[in-house]
Chains A and B, each alone.
Chain A
């Protein structure tokens, strides 16, 4: 089973994403801050991480950059979730090394299809 790490400090959104991903057949690790996300990413080695950009402490962008900098996690697929839509935020996410970017509010169905297309591209 493909393991997906979900990091969002908003409990409702975290549960929403976790529920939808489990329904789609993924194993989900749900965490509420950047530091825990980083630790879980290193110890559990998920195939993909869904990271909220604005979390207290380490932001999603910080976590993304640190995962990319570490050879053990550099190849992890990363999708950023953000409530900001300004161009510079999107560019910030991509320059930190994210594979895709989803803005809030998003459709859970669409998030799943983005994850699936990233996974199939990675497998190809």
Chain B
């Protein structure tokens, strides 16, 4: 490269006429070569700085994930005792506890469960944020992911007297992480059933559209107040009507969904009207 450039400069010198000009050009070339070498050294230095920065970021990320795993481990141990002993108490003979005491134990059990879900969701979010894909992304059929999630949520919906309708046009092949996509479906269907009163319905549609796999989860539930909709994907955010009606939740489910969908190069959008229902639409690039 440099040889060719020198040659070209020498030739240009001869063409513009005179040995003086060629000589001046030769000096200029030497100066430029020195400058080039200096630039190369500078590039090398900045590349090395970048590498160091990347390595430090990776180390920080690993430390954070490690810390979260440790915290979650440390929290699980006392939680095991709390929920375990509460279970023993609640299994006591009918005449051993008063109704008031049973109600109190129910509150402790419910809150221990909530703490457990929080720990799991925080750990999941931390893992997705630092690692992106934990398992190797591979070929996933979204239609199968949806079918699995519907089978899972079926008994919950039946128990809550919520009608569950599915319209899946598969196969919907895409490149992704099956475990993480299972999580997205579980969170979305779980929310839809949880926030829909008895006799309401949840409809799941999945189909191909313009090079994308499109998933729609629509419910006829309590909906989200319009002023709060933009905060839906903020972690720990919970809609005021959900809190008022004491619907349990961690406020992390949609944050997790969004992060996973982002990691897959897709989009997630929510349309909702209070007391009418909510529709979540996920679009993922098809393979």
**Chain A residues within CB distance 8 Å of chain B:** 10, 12-13, 16, 19-20, 54, 83-86, 103-109
Contact = CB atoms under 8 A, between A and B. Distances in A.
Q: Which of B69, B79, B81, B84 has the most CB of A within 10 A?
A: B84
Contacts of B91: 109
Contacts of B79: 104-105
A83 B73 contact: yes
B76 A105 contact: yes
B interface SS class: helix
Contact of B80 (A20, A83, A109): A83
Q: Which of A19, A84, A104, A107 has the most CB of B within 10 A?
A: A104
B12 to A, nearest CB: 64
A16 B69 contact: no
Contacts of A16: 80-81, 84-85, 88
B208 interface: no
21 contacts: A10-B81, A13-B80, A16-B80, A16-B84, A16-B88, A83-B72, A83-B73, A83-B74, A83-B77, A85-B72, A85-B123, A86-B69, A104-B77, A104-B79, A105-B80, A105-B82, A105-B84, A105-B112, A105-B116, A107-B84, A109-B87
Contacts of B116: 105
B83 interface: yes
A105 B83 contact: yes
A43 B83 CA distance: 33
Contacts of B74: 83
A16 B88 CA distance: 8
Contact of B77 (A13, A19, A85): A13
A83 B141 CA distance: 32
Contacts of B112: 105
A104 B80 CA distance: 6
Nearest to A111: B84
B34 to A, nearest CB: 54
Contacts of A12: 81, 85
Contacts of A108: 84, 87-88
A83 B76 CA distance: 6
A19 B80 contact: no
